[in-house]
Structure formats: C-alpha cells, structure tokens
Amino acid sequence: MSTERERIPCRCCGVYHDPTVCSQCAVAGCSSTVGKKGHKCRLQGTLTLPLRAAGLFFLLLFFPLSASAQSTSTCDTTLWVHVYNPKRLIIHDACISVTGTIVDATHGKRKDGLRHEGDGDTHGWLKLDPMFKGLVNAGNVSDEDGNLVFEVICKYRVTQKDAIAPCRAFTSSVVIPPVGSHVRITGSYVQDQEHAKWMEIHPVTKIEVLE
C-alpha cells in the first residue's frame, strides 16, 4: 500500500492527491495555464489550512465537479489475488481514476486495438486527457507511444504456464469499449519494474464511457 508521500500530486496544483480537490483547482481557473511557462496554481500556498478548507467546502457546495472527478475512486482489492507476479509492480496509488481516449496499442494488428498477453491480461493504451499527462514517464514515451498502459486482468485465455494459477476459476467481467472511446478508468496506478518500467493502471477495476 502506498503512503501519501508516494502518491502522484495533482497535475494542476502540484500538491493535492484528492481528485475532488483537483477538480476545484480547475474551478479556480488553473486548468487553462497548466503546463505553460509561469503557471502557478491559484490554490497552492495562498491560504492557511482552515481558510483553504472553508474555501474548498464553498466550491464543493456551489460548483459541480468536473467529469473526471464525479465518481469517487473505489477499487476492487480482491483483484490483486489474480494478478500475475504482483511483486514486479510498484504501487504509486492504490486507487485512482483517470480519463482519456482509448487508442490502438497494436498498430492495426488487432481489431480491438488490444494486445492479448500470455498471462490473460489486456495491454491497452489510454491517451490521457491534459490534466493527467503527468502520469506517464519515460518508459511510456519510449515504448508505449506516450500512452498510459491499462491492464484488465484475466480477460483472455492464459497461455503462459506460470500464469495459469492466478486466473484459475476467474475471468474479468470488465467491458472494454472500442478504440476512440473517451473513458474513465479506475484501478491501481503502478510502475512495472520489467520492460521499460512504464506506468500502468493495473489491475483495472472498471471502465466507464464518458459523454
């Protein structure tokens, strides 16, 4: 389980981890300047903690949450029982929701745009919305076309012998929308210590199609 210090900060304010607070950072008018030279979050370092809390309460009361934060992140922890070789995954956030567009991870080789791994998992690509761009690393850029990897576990027939046991008597019910769908993916945000050490949502708890 990750600690607060290990979590990835809000892309906008650089401090908060709570997606509800992050959405209010956008309400404060920060989203239009994120990533630009001279950007400074309007919430960060401007208020004492009590006043900041009061201000956020006011924002929550009178402003709707952004689409990326409308549902509280809730993950199915029992999925970890079925993860192949979990020791290779470093957990940065035990449960996170991110939004983006599903893109083809096979370069046209498969109609569903997903790699079907030998351990039964999917290997999909999510082109992140701007507010989540900070969740990818150099490995994602070099080996995954800059996309965040998402893995729905035990989705396909397992062909890798040492991965048979974790998926025995279990098949994921998560429905994966087609390439081009704008979605919210909820799951654990981890770094795979094999390959190019890219970042992933693994295991995926749910995928929701956004309007």
124, 105 Cβ separation under 8 angstroms: yes
- Judge contact between 75 and 187, C-beta under 8 A: yes
Residue in the structure block whose two tokens are 């009590």 = 50
The C-alpha R_g of the chain, in whole angstroms, comes to: 18
Digit-coded pLDDT (tens) for 75-92:
999 999 999 999 999 999
Judge if pTM exceeds 0.85. Answer: no
CA distance 26 to 153: 33
Domains in the chain with CATH codes: 4-67 (no CATH), 77-209 (2.40.50)
| Low-confidence winner among 54-63, 123-132, 180-189 (lowest mean pLDDT) | 54-63
Q: Are 197 and 191 in contact (CB under 8 A)?
A: yes
Residue 137, burial from CB neighbour count under 10 angstroms (0-12, 13-18, 19+) = middle
Q: Interhelix angle for 49-62 vs 19-27, to 10°?
A: 80
Q: What is the pLDDT of residues 10-31, one digit of tens each?
A: 555 555 555 444 545 554 555 5
Average pLDDT, the chain: 78
